[in-house]
Chains A and B, each alone.
Chain A
Amino acid sequence: MSLPTTASQTIGPFFAILLPLGSNELAPPGTPRAIRVEGCVFDGAGTPVPDALIELWQASESGQHALTHDETFRGFGRCMTDPDGRYSFVTVKPGRVPGWDERVQAPHLSLGIFARGVLKRLSTRLYFPDEAAANASDPVLSGINEANVRRTLIASAVGPRRYTFDIHLQGDSETAFFAI
């Protein structure tokens, strides 16, 4: 039996009336080696998107994804963009996770983007600029031939353990989105 998946619809502009479940602080303040990731979501005209929801899913520092709800590091975060289209997460840098064909993946954050005007989730990944060797052998990154597209998936370092990662929904700087 194969049943068709229920159709997706836009999140719309009012998701925030739900009291938040899941926060943008995956690592509590004071966590050693905590990193901060921040950025802005832009539309095709370069205008910030003030009503997007970014969801983050990642492995722990040792490269394990949480498999139950009672693990210390649950690996899930959420952030609504602010009126300037900005989001941020405080978390830890994930470890390396198996890929396929014996190839190990570079550290990455999986991101899902929902917004008014986005009829189904957009999926992308954030890779780290200080992981050049791991990135070069990552099976997903290295499968993208165009350097300018690959580059949209790599965050910029702006300070110690601080990264920026802008998301462009459309246009010349369009972020690489995946069919997962």
Chain B
Amino acid sequence: MASDTGNRTSGYRPDDEATQPPYLYAAYRSTVLRSPSRPLIPLQQTLSEITGPIFGPGDVGPLDYDLTRQHSGQPLGQRIIMSGRLVDGDGSAIPHSLIETWQANAAGRYAHSEDNHEAPLDPNFTGGGRCLTDAHGHYRFVTIHPGAYPWGNDPNAWRPAHIHFSVFGPAFATRLITQMYFPGDPLLPFDPILDSIPDPTARQRLVATFDWDTTEPGFALGYTFDIILRGPNATPIEA
């Protein structure tokens, strides 16, 4: 029954509820039948929660970070460079950690058989990316600005342009899927998915920042988006 916990934390801090959406948010209609009606059962974290899947260089292809070079030609749309830092709640870098992204094309259409939006597919764009953060927690993707698209939440509902981010961090407890939005998008105040987050500053943190420093002359606009995962408890576990 020995287990090598090393310097592993004794667990991860709970989130401030205002910074996370509830399960039931009726304005986002799909939550009505898909949200649990009983409160979550508190679980004191064990090794099953404070360990988690670990990915390595062999899991990521050399061009997986560049969504504009996954086909024979270039995708249509405004080229952008998405970069940022993955850190924990103490501000410490989370190195060598998997980040996955997926998004619609420039016309607002996903390369998915269930997307019925009558906007064109782009033969040069699939819309999926992945990379590992570097030793300092930095990540970088090259892609195109996704389009907004209509959805069925109400008769004239439109999702603001967004990129889905899936991050793992060090533990099963730190797993997070979120969406990143673009500054100045007129649809942001009308999106019930974004609006489900109670704290307005937490909503604002999902909006990327336009950034001259990462904008590449003659090539692509730069946006930055940092991701913060749950911080570790202070007390180390007893070996």
* B157 at interface by CB-CB < 8 Å: no
Q: Is the CB of A174 within 8 A of B23?
A: no
Q: Chain A residues near B107 (CB, 8 Å)? A: none
Q: From known contacts A1-B90, A119-B21, A119-B196, infer whether A14 and B34 are also in contact, taking CB-CB under 8 Å.
A: no
Q: Chain B residues near A177 (CB, 8 Å)? A: 36, 38, 40-41
Q: Is the CB of B34 within 8 A of A180?
A: no
- Give the dominant DSSP class at A's interface: loop
Chain B interface residues (CB < 8 Å from chain A)? 1, 3-4, 6, 13-16, 19-23, 25, 28-38, 40-49, 51-56, 58-59, 87-91, 98, 100, 102, 104, 110-112, 114-115, 126-128, 130, 164, 166, 172-173, 175-179, 193-194, 196-197, 199, 202-203, 205-206, 227-231
* A104 at interface by CB-CB < 8 Å: yes
Q: Chain A residues near B16 (CB, 8 Å)? A: 4-5
* A6 at interface by CB-CB < 8 Å: yes
Q: Chain B residues near A10 (CB, 8 Å)? A: 28, 30, 177, 179, 193
**Which of B41, B44, B164 has the most chain A CB within a 10 Å cutoff?**
B41
**Number of contact residues on A: which range applies?**
35 or more
Partner of A63, one of B1, B33, B178: B1
Q: Is the CB of A51 within 8 A of B14?
A: no
Q: Chain A residues near B104 (CB, 8 Å)? A: 14
Instruction: Tell me which residues from 1 to 26 in chain A have a Cβ below 8 Å from any Cβ of chain B.
Output: 1-19, 21-22
Report the minimal beta-carbon distance from A73 to chain B, rounded to whole angstroms.
12
